[in-house]
Structure formats: structure tokens, C-alpha cells
Amino acid sequence: MPVLNYIQAVKEALKEEMERDEKVYVLGEDVGVRGGVFRATEGLYEQFGELRVLDTPLAESAIAGVGIGSAMYGMRPVAEMQFADFIMPAVNQIISEAAKIRYRSNNDWHCPITIRAPYGGGVHGALYHSQSIEAVFANQPGLKIVMPSSPYDVKGLLKAAIRDDDPVLFLEHKRAYRLLKEEVPEGEYTLPIGKADVKRTGSDVTVITYGLCVHFAKEAAEKLEQQGISTEILDLRTVYPLDKEAIIHSASKTGKVLLVTEDNKEGSIIGEVAAIISEHCLFDLDAPIQRLAGPEVPAMPYAPTLEKEFMMNPDKIEAAIKDLAEF
């Protein structure tokens, strides 16, 4: 089985889907001749031509709008936002149009668009290239937000997103692009959207997180295992809507829950996870639900020391798990 990194898994999923279905096409800034700033669409222009690999102007609202319109007419667009930070001009298109069209038209229309966007920090990207934007979109019924944590999940989930008949926001952690590598099967497989995944089973503390933080949590858990602390890791994979059943199951299992996100703490995805747990798991809880998140600071700083302070890392997670285990 070939070992792919995260970005290669993106490329493979796109290529396979474009080969499978000629209605699938990609559009975005520099996705064509250039092959994307992160090389996610490398070779697609050559293979599928300029009509299926569209270079667009620097206008995110247009990228989303064109994609949404074509999706409603039967195409399967995969729109790329060069950085998630730049998705803001497209918010109106995504929230008010894509997410609502099925409901608004009483099921006459639907919008099978996938919008890919690299998010997250730790790459010296500073303010405009480090943001986590998932929480902005995470209360819009009609929209799904998928945030895979590994190359294997990327391929299976991206293919599922493209085949989904409704809009999917597909957020890829840019630091993971070349950091994470694993064996990814060639050819056909998809993973279910809306389902969380137990990445590690354990009995002392449950860590619930998503994206790159899953990787950090795994590293922390491995270290703690040598100290006799057994950690369960639940990867949300889809952060909206949340997989309540899996959250309740994993939280109830240990009764000690650590929620981790790279995003700012207040109003983040994990706050919603905490709410689900407190609604359903009170009599299984053995400790207060703990949140580990970025500080309430407007943006990821550029100075490396401050960026390091802001970013999530395995040491922070390890300390938090240990605290809970000892409680």
C-alpha cells in the first residue's frame, strides 16, 4: 500500500473523482496551470484540461457563487479557497445560498458543492494564513463541515464530500499537509460524513478533538501510556453536525473528558461538544469537562515564540490528560 502525505491524499481523491464522474470539476485561484499553491491540484490541469480545472480571479465570493450556481444545475464543483482566512467574502454565498437552497426551494433544488480550504497555524503564516474558521460556519443547518485528521481519512472523506448531494465545507490543516504520512489504499473507498471515529481506545481519559490536534493527542497518549495512563481518542471528523452518539459513548466510557481545539476557546466547536456531554452524560461524569484551546487573542501571532505559545502541541495535551487522570 503506498504511503501518502495529507496533500497527496487530497490530490488522489480529486483525481479519482474526476476520472469517475465527468461532472466533477475544480475551480480556484492558481489551481490550474500552477497546480495550486500547496500542489493539491498538481497534474489535474494537464489530465483534465482547462474546462475542468478552472483558474479564477482573486474573488472568493465569485468562486463560491460560480460553484453554487453550477452545482444547482447538476455539476459537482470542488471549489478551493487558497487559505481559509480568505473565505470571508464568500460567507454570504455559502451560508445564505448554498446551505439554504434545498430548504428554501422545498427540495426542488439542491447544491452538491464541496469547498476546500486550508486552515490552521503553526506554519509561520501569521494573521492571514493561520486562522481556524470552522466555528463561523458551525451553526448553519444545511451545511456540513468535515475536518479530517489523517491522509487515509482525507481521501475517504473528500470523495464522500464530492458525492454528497449537499454543500460540504472541507477544511484541511495546512501544517498537516506534509507532516502527516500514512498508508492510503489505492482506488475506491469512502468514509461516512457525520460519523466520528475512535482513533485510540482507552479507559482513563477521553480526548475529543479534530484535525491536526488528533495527531498531537495521539503523541501525548503514547507517552502517557508508558506512565500507565490509558487514553481514548475520539476524532470528530465531521464537526458540524456533530456525531452525538459517538461523543456520548466515548465520554460516558471514562467519565473524564478533555476537549481540544486549536481555535480560540470561547464559542468554539468543543463548547458544543461539552454541551452535548453535559446534557446526556451527567451521571457518568467523574470530573469536570475540560477544554484545552487557543487563547482569546484575535489572531495567531507571527513571532515564533508567540506562535508557539498560541499553537496546540502534544505537551499541552499531555499535561491536561495527566491532570484529569489524577483527579
Catalytic site positions: 129
**Where does 189-325 show beta strands of DSSP type E?**
197-200, 205-209, 231-235, 238-240, 257-264, 290-294
Q: Does 284 bind another protein (CB under 8 A)?
A: yes
Residues in the interface with another protein (CB under 8 A) total 11
287, 309, 314, 316: residue in contact with another protein (rule CB under 8 A) = 287
Q: How many CA atoms lie within 13 A of 162 on its CB side?
A: 30
* Positive/negative CA dihedral, 313, 217, 118, 292: negative
Stretch that binds another protein, among 4-12, 212-220, 262-270, 276-284 (CB under 8 A): 276-284
Stretch that binds another protein, among 45-53, 142-150, 281-289, 290-298 (CB under 8 A): 281-289
- What number of residues does the chain have? 327
Q: Does 225 bind another protein (CB under 8 A)?
A: no
Question: Which is closer to another protein, CB of 50 or CB of 286?
Answer: 286
225, 285, 314, 316: residue in contact with another protein (rule CB under 8 A) = 285
**Where does the chain show beta strands of DSSP type E?**
3-5, 24-28, 53-55, 76-80, 114-119, 144-146, 168-173, 181-183, 197-200, 205-209, 231-235, 238-240, 257-264, 290-294
A 10 A CB-CB count for 271 gives: 18
Q: Does 286 bind another protein (CB under 8 A)?
A: yes
Question: Which is closer to another protein, CB of 1 or CB of 282?
Answer: 282
Stretch that binds another protein, among 14-22, 99-107, 214-222, 285-293 (CB under 8 A): 285-293
Question: Which is closer to another protein, CB of 10 or CB of 257?
Answer: 257
Q: Does 230 bind another protein (CB under 8 A)?
A: no
Q: Does 327 bind another protein (CB under 8 A)?
A: yes
Q: From the CB of 232, what's the least distance to another protein, in Å?
A: 14
Q: From the CB of 258, what's the least distance to another protein, in Å?
A: 15
Stretch that binds another protein, among 118-126, 138-146, 183-191, 284-292 (CB under 8 A): 284-292
Question: Which is closer to another protein, CB of 147 or CB of 281?
Answer: 281
Q: Is 126 exposed, middle or buried (0-12, 13-18, 19+ CB in 10 A)?
A: middle
A 10 A CB-CB count for 316 gives: 17
The C-alpha R_g of the chain, in whole angstroms, comes to 19
Stretch that binds another protein, among 142-150, 191-199, 257-265, 277-285 (CB under 8 A): 277-285
Q: From the CB of 322, what's the least distance to another protein, in Å?
A: 11
Binding mask 240-259 for another protein (x = CB under 8 A): ---------------xx---
CA 150 – CA 184 distance, rounded (Å): 10
73, 228, 283, 305: residue in contact with another protein (rule CB under 8 A) = 283
Asked if 184 contacts 151 with a C-beta cutoff of 8 angstroms, the reply is yes
CA 202 – CA 253 distance, rounded (Å): 9
Cell of 240: 458540524
Asked if 157 contacts 108 with a C-beta cutoff of 8 angstroms, the reply is no
Taking CB under 8 A as the criterion, which residues in 159-218 touch another protein?
204
Q: Is 209 left (phi over 0), alpha (psi -120 to 50) or beta?
A: beta
Question: Which is closer to another protein, CB of 30 or CB of 284?
Answer: 284
Given the rule CB under 8 A, which residues bind another protein?
204, 255-256, 282-287, 326-327
